[in-house]
Amino acid sequence: MESTPHSRAPEISVTYMISHANPEKIAAEIALEQTVEMPRAAVSNEQILSEITGRIISVEKHEGSGFIATICYPASVSNFEIPQFLNLLYGNISFKPGIRIVGLDLPEEFLMSFKGPRFGVGGIRKLLGVFDRPLVSTALKPMGSTAEDLAHMCYRFALGGIDIIKDDHGLADFPFCPFRDRVAACMHAINRAKRETGKKTLYFPNITGRFEKIVDDVDFAVSEGVGGILISPFLVGLDCVRHIAENETIGKPVMSHPAFCGSLFSSAGTGIAPEIVLGTLFRLIGVDSSVYPNYGGRFSFTKETCSLIAASLRGHLGHMRPALPTPAGGIDLKNITDVVHFYGNDIILLIGGSLYGRPGSLEDSARFFCDKVTEAAKNRRYTTEGSE
């Protein structure tokens, strides 16, 4: 079914997967529910109907099961801000089963309201001075460790050549590991390792907590000279992350963690597709590096899903810089070659458990990790060049 085209816009185009027997009816309900939140018969103002409500472009049978409906909304109804944008896309209909957002096309007028990644792929590479291989990263853990324990791990990892060392996303301002003590100790460890090796390593502390504390903790972290910020957008609020990413006085790369947002795509027929959440949406709010579960790990993402996320992070999105895909979640050291061949060089490879579990010192494990990534990158270049 197609509507009669008429002039209007700029518009935000949203593609919904509908798993209902009467998709045209559901599409019409979505277009109204997400805007005027009234039945069509109750809206007598023709200007509101033509300039506010969603416009159904098409409803077609999906090649698998269900139907694909494309609905356009006036970009102005997003108010060009993240909270209202999310409300427009998936506000009330998030309560209805069998509706999933699988596509999103954003006009330039909307995109220009956001700065996107401040650093992105090229900026983070420039900070580290690394341009010819994937970046390597690990996490400080486990929860329960003291600030001194974590700083010791940080020092050993930095000596071994790790590019980015981040807090585990579960590290808050705990009594056994206060945030300020942890940041100060880890930065001391990073700087000590740099003096000894000459290699730059970036430390990303985890920022979480009450809003007023987040502001104070970011300011403190910046004053300590941290390399970047780790933050979970769906825990602290997406527009909070946008503010941090765009704030000129902060000026640090932002690495996102996907904690809690799995609830948006754990059901195949409901929610929002992972590549939209972890890719497009996180780029909009200024994320430079997006952590997500890699295929074959302890979570359920497939190769196809991971490929779509990576494409969404690195592909064209108006004026916005590409961001770094950061696959994680159970990657084993023995699988590095496969992962590098799958994604290419422009990723951050995040390994935790496998690094800690390897026999020997953390420094030796880190060096082994870095060597494996460098070797995999060289082999991939050789394989690619040889096939041309």
| Grouped pLDDT means (10 residues each) for the chain, 388 residues | 54 96 95 94 90 95 90 97 97 95 97 98 98 97 97 98 98 97 98 98 97 96 98 98 97 97 89 97 98 90 96 98 95 94 97 93 97 94 52
> Quick one: pLDDT at residue 274?
97
CA distance 2 to 192: 65
Measure the CA–CA gap between 60 and 161, rounded to whole angstroms: 52
Half-sphere exposure at residue 380, Cβ-oriented, CA atoms within 13 angstroms: 20
Dig out the tokens for 320 from the structure: 């916005």
Residues of the chain with CATH 3.30.70.150: 11-111
The CATH 3.20.20.110 portion of the chain extends over 120-387
State pTM to two decimals: 0.94
Shortest CA distance to 229 belongs to which of 187, 166, 294? Answer: 166
- The 10 Å Cβ neighbour count of residue 214 is 20
| CATH among 3.30.160.40, 3.40.50.300, 3.30.360.10, 3.20.20.110 for 120-387 | 3.20.20.110
| Helix-, strand-, coil-residue percentages of the chain, each rounded to 5 | 45, 20, 35
Measured CA distances, 47 to 20, 52, 80 (Å): 30, 8, 21
Query: By three-state DSSP, how is residue 72 classified?
Result: strand
> How far apart, in whole angstroms, are the C-alpha atoms of residue 287 and residue 124?
12
Query: Is there a contact between 383 and 344 (Cβ–Cβ < 8 Å)?
Result: no
Give the pLDDT confidence score for residue 196 in this predicted structure: 98
Rg of the chain on CA atoms, in Å: 23
- 8 Å CB contact between 231 and 287: no
Domain 11-111 has CATH 1.10.3720.10: no
